[in-house]
Amino acid sequence: MPLLPRHPRTPAPAPRPQVTTTATRRHPRWLSAKLYGAAARQHEVLTEHLPLLIEGLPDGVDRWFFVRYRDPDPHLRLRFHGAPDVLHGPMARAVLAWADRLREQRLAGRLIFDGYEPETARYGGPDLITAVERHFHHDSLHVLQQLRSFPEGVPDDEKALLTAVNFVDTVRQVHGSHWPGWLLHTALDEACEPHRSYAHRNRREAWARYHRGDLTRPESAGRSEALGPPSRRSGAPSC
C-alpha cells in the first residue's frame, strides 16, 4: 500500500498581502499605503517594480511620492494625490494588484492603507505646501532614475554620497545665492557631535560631486521648477 500519493501535489499559492486600514484621519485627495518587506529587497522593489505601478497610474492622479521608513519594521510609504473617486477606486485596486504580484515573488508582506494629512505647518504653510509636494514628486522620480543607473555592486558609501549630492541640490534651490556658505559652514548640534568630522568631510565631497555634474538628469530641473521662483521659497524649511 503506497504511503505517498502517486501524483505531486499542487503547491499552495502565495497568500495575498495582509491588507489593513487604520483610523488615522484620511485626506480626501491623498491615498497613502505602507508596503512592508525586507529592507534588503527595497532596491529591487523600487527599481524594477514601482515603475510598473507608476506607468499605469489612472487618469485623475496628478502626483505621487515615496518614503523609506521604519516603525520599527522597514517599509515603503507610497502617497498618491488626485481626485477622490479615482484614488479610492481604480488607484487603490491598482495598488492591491501590484502588492499581490510582489507577494507572489516574496518581495512584500503586509499592505496597510493609512490615513495621511499633509504636514502643512512643517513645510512652510498653506502657501507653500503644494509646491513642496510637487518637489517630493519630482524628487522621487529623480531618485528612481538614479537608483536604476547604479551598476551592480556599487558600495553603500557611494549610494550615501549620491544621496548627499541630492541634498546639496535641494539646499541650492531653497537658499539661493547663499547656499554654499550654509552647506559648508552650518554647525551641527550636540546630538551630531560623534559624526562631525564625517559630516564635514562628506559635505565637501558632495559639493565637489555637484560641481562635476553628477546631477545632470532631467528630473533634477523638475525639482527646482516645482518649488517656484526664489521669492516663494523663503518660508520653506532650511534643513
Burial 6-32 (b: 16+ CB within 10 A, else e): eeeeeeeeeeebeeeeeeeebeeebbb
Percentages helix, strand, coil for the chain (3-state, rounded to 5) are: 50, 15, 35
Give the list of residues 6+ apart from residue 139 with CB closer than 8 angstroms, or none: 65, 166, 170, 219, 223
What is the distance between the alpha carbons of residues 91 and 103, in angstroms, rounded to a whole number?
18
- Contact between 144 and 64 under an 8 Å Cβ cutoff? The reply is no
User: Taking the alpha carbons of 197, 199, 200, 205 in that order, is the dihedral positive or negative?
Assistant: positive
For residue 120, how many other CB atoms are within 10 A of its CB? 14
pLDDT attached to residue 30: 95
Q: Which residue has the cell 549620491?
A: 162
E strand residue ranges, 83-190: 111-114
E strand residue ranges, the chain: 19-21, 30-36, 61-70, 74-82, 111-114
DSSP state at residue 121: T
**Tens of each residue's pLDDT in the chain, 239 residues:** 344 444 444 444 444 445 554 445 568 899 999 999 999 999 999 999 999 999 999 999 999 999 999 999 999 999 999 999 999 999 999 999 999 999 999 999 999 999 888 888 888 888 888 888 998 998 899 888 888 877 666 777 777 777 777 777 777 776 666 767 766 666 556 656 555 666 666 667 766 776 776 654 445 555 555 555 544 444 444 43
Q: Which residue has the cell 495575498?
A: 16
pLDDT attached to residue 213: 67
